[in-house]
Amino acid sequence: MKILLVYPEFPDTFWSFKHALKFIRKRAGAPPLGLLTVAAMLPGDWETRLVDTNIGHLRDRDLAWADYVFLSAMVVQRDSARQVIDRCKEAGVTVVAGGPLFTGDPESFADVDHLVLNEAEITLPMFLADLEQGCARRVYTTSEFPDIQQTPAPRWELLDMRRYATMSIQFSRGCPYDCEFCNITTLFGRRPRTKTAEQIVGELDALYALGWRGGVFFVDDNFIGNKKVLKQELLPALIEWRQGKTGLPFNTEASINLADDDELMHMMVQAGFNTVFVGIETPDEDSLAECNKFQNRGRNLVESVKTIHRAGLQVQGGFIVGFDHDTPSIFQRQIDFIQTSGIVTAMVGLLQAPYGTRLYQRMEGEGRLLEGPSGDNVDGSTNIVPKMSIDTLRAGYKRILNQIYSPRMYYERVKTFLQDYQPPQIGLYLDINYILAFFRSIYRLGITGVERLHYWRLFFWTLFRRPKLFPLAITLAIYGYHFRQVCELHVL
């Protein structure tokens, strides 16, 4: 059996990092971990190939080779996924689709031959067994959450790793919190399920043996969802694994209560983590109550962020405007919060109701639901009717982006962050692409860019005041360029 795994293209969005990737001559931020994992679950004698259309083209001869196309996608990849399905239909190849887009909205894909939904650990064996018997159904679903200690290691060797900026690895699925707008609990449950430390060390060993020295993204929904297992099993194993190695800095996603646990932060830094994405959402207590984000309530959020920075973990933050409790003062409050906290990478979006969320149900019940979500929560669109007038909301949203990504405020924020941040302990791995990116930044940002004055100020300030953080300062300058391009393209 010949299986072609296909990953559709991401549009040019905030998280695509497309404009920044050009500096380091990479084609995509992260690999399609779902497909690599699914590939590892297929019978060993089946032939598998991967086409990630973010890296290269899907050619007619790839489709002619395949018996089946296995397709995975998020909502944001919908258009490209649609094109792939159409091409498969034309070429007469059977399509098997899974992953968040199809699990959330199967009704929109009536022409897909087999929808193998939810987590493949449960549904794929069902499909494969029926296929062998010649009676494969069209839809496979489950309401169970599998034990991921049985999940095989992703098949990294299917990738052309040199084209990616980071590799991904997954330790846990699920999140103990239940924010109204988030679909993680619907997709993966509230009880975090973890892999064993041995599984993760095995996966890291495999990446290391393949020569990978770049960043590794732990794609957990909330890395600190099960602190006990982290402190007693995973982090000690990672700290030991890291001894004598250079490169492979880790980043992940976690809830803000990370700031309350010095020991946990210290262990994470020792293990090689240097960045963590945190859902901050809003400084407004009423809006936090509205969306049931109680882990963010009743605390000094700016101080929490700074505590994490001082421990040696850079916070990337998610922010939302358009809650029912938001008044027009929220826009300036968000700007002030982002600037003061020194969160350089601030993903600000309008409140959207993804499929399967409690917010989706509530909006439907209140007759406030519009066409399906775009899947990109940073494109200034929303699928709900907000309480504030949509024009005021859009204008305020634009103002936030205009300001926080203006060269002056962006570079000021980088400096605030670098002042607080404890330099990482990971041995630096010098990649030629990063050295070239440095020279490209001098040309694109320091000579021809509108930000040149701010670039050189940061350049010399970091060189003299925070020399250990110089590579990070240049990286953040390049990120700023990307964020500005995306905002100009889509929102402003």
Give which of 215, 280, 289, 292 is closest to 254, Cα–Cα: 280
Q: Nearer Cβ to ligand B12, position 281 or 420?
A: 281
For ligand B12, which residue of 3, 4, 9, 13 counts as binding (CB under 6 A)? 13
For ligand B12, which residue of 274, 296, 334, 377 counts as binding (CB under 6 A)? 377
Is residue 284 a contact point for ligand B12 (CB under 6 A)? no
Q: Closest separation between CB of residue 308 and ligand B12, Å? A: 19
Q: Closest separation between CB of residue 151 and ligand B12, Å? A: 7
Q: Nearer Cβ to ligand B12, position 24 or 469?
A: 24
- Among the candidate windows 95-103, 196-204, 303-311, 431-439, which touches ligand B12 by CB under 6 A? 95-103
The answer to whether the CB of 175 falls within 8 A of the CB of 184 is yes
Quick count: other Cβ atoms within 10 Å of Cβ 275? 18
d(CA 87, CA 198): 41
Amino acid, res. 472: L
Q: Closest separation between CB of residue 121 and ligand B12, Å? A: 5
d(CA 31, CA 51): 11
For ligand B12, which residue of 53, 80, 170, 462 counts as binding (CB under 6 A)? 170
For ligand B12, which residue of 26, 155, 173, 195 counts as binding (CB under 6 A)? 173
For ligand B12, which residue of 22, 25, 27, 30 counts as binding (CB under 6 A)? 30
**Residue window 218-247: x/- pattern of binding to ligand B12, with contact defined by CB under 6 A:** -x-x--------------------------
User: Cα Rg for the chain, rounded, in angstroms?
Assistant: 22
**Residue window 36-65: x/- pattern of binding to ligand B12, with contact defined by CB under 6 A:** -xx---------------------------
Q: Which of residues 420-479 bind ligand B12 (CB under 6 A)?
A: none
Find tokens 């309530």 and name the residue.
297
- Among the candidate windows 96-104, 257-265, 321-329, 444-452, which touches ligand B12 by CB under 6 A? 96-104
Q: Closest separation between CB of residue 310 and ligand B12, Å? A: 25
- Among the candidate windows 228-236, 308-316, 375-383, 441-449, which touches ligand B12 by CB under 6 A? 375-383
Q: Closest separation between CB of residue 17 and ligand B12, Å? A: 8
Instruction: State phi, psi for 27 to the nearest 5 degrees.
Output: -100, -30
Contacts of 132 (CB under 8 A, 6+ apart): none
Q: Nearer Cβ to ligand B12, position 354 or 480?
A: 354
Strand, coil or helix: what is 280? strand
How many residues form the binding site for ligand B12 (CB under 6 A)?
44
Q: Closest separation between CB of residue 56 and ligand B12, Å? A: 15
Q: At 7, which helix (H) or strand (E)?
A: strand 2-7
Give which of 32, 364, 384, 361 is closest to 186, Cα–Cα: 361
Q: Closest separation between CB of residue 279 and ligand B12, Å? A: 9
Give which of 245, 248, 238, 246 is closest to 270, Cα–Cα: 238
How does strand 172-173 pair with strand 193-194?
antiparallel
The answer to whether the CB of 301 falls within 8 A of the CB of 280 is yes
Give which of 273, 271, 291 is closest to 282, Cα–Cα: 291
Residue 131 tokens, joined: 């296929």
Burial letters for 7-39: b for 16+ Cβ neighbours within 10 Å, e otherwise?
bbbbbebbbbbbbbbbbbebbbbbbbbbbbbbb
Question: For the purposes of burial, counting CB atoms within 10 Å of the CB of 45, is it exposed (0-12), middle (13-18) or buried (19 or more)?
Answer: exposed
Q: Nearer Cβ to ligand B12, position 116 or 418?
A: 116
Q: Closest separation between CB of residue 431 and ligand B12, Å? A: 20
User: Residues 242, 243, 245, 249: what is their CA dihedral angle, to the nearest 10 degrees?
Assistant: 30
Is residue 96 a contact point for ligand B12 (CB under 6 A)? yes
Is residue 289 a contact point for ligand B12 (CB under 6 A)? no
For ligand B12, which residue of 84, 93, 112, 116 counts as binding (CB under 6 A)? 116
Q: Nearer Cβ to ligand B12, position 277 or 455?
A: 277
Quick count: other Cβ atoms within 10 Å of Cβ 227? 16
Is residue 282 a contact point for ligand B12 (CB under 6 A)? no
- Among the candidate windows 168-176, 299-307, 438-446, 462-470, which touches ligand B12 by CB under 6 A? 168-176
Is residue 183 a contact point for ligand B12 (CB under 6 A)? yes
Is residue 8 a contact point for ligand B12 (CB under 6 A)? no
Is residue 32 a contact point for ligand B12 (CB under 6 A)? yes
Quick count: other Cβ atoms within 10 Å of Cβ 414? 24
Question: For the purposes of burial, counting CB atoms within 10 Å of the CB of 447, is it exposed (0-12), middle (13-18) or buried (19 or more)?
Answer: exposed
For ligand B12, which residue of 121, 284, 290, 451 counts as binding (CB under 6 A)? 121
Sign of the alpha-carbon torsion through 131, 133, 139, 145: negative
Is residue 9 a contact point for ligand B12 (CB under 6 A)? no
DSSP code, position 159: S
d(CA 405, CA 7): 31
Is residue 124 a contact point for ligand B12 (CB under 6 A)? yes
Q: Closest separation between CB of residue 78 and ligand B12, Å? A: 8
Return residues touching ligand B12 (CB under 6 A). 10, 13, 15-16, 29-30, 32-35, 37-38, 70-72, 74-76, 96-101, 104, 116, 119-121, 124, 168, 170, 173, 182-184, 187-188, 219, 221, 354, 375-377
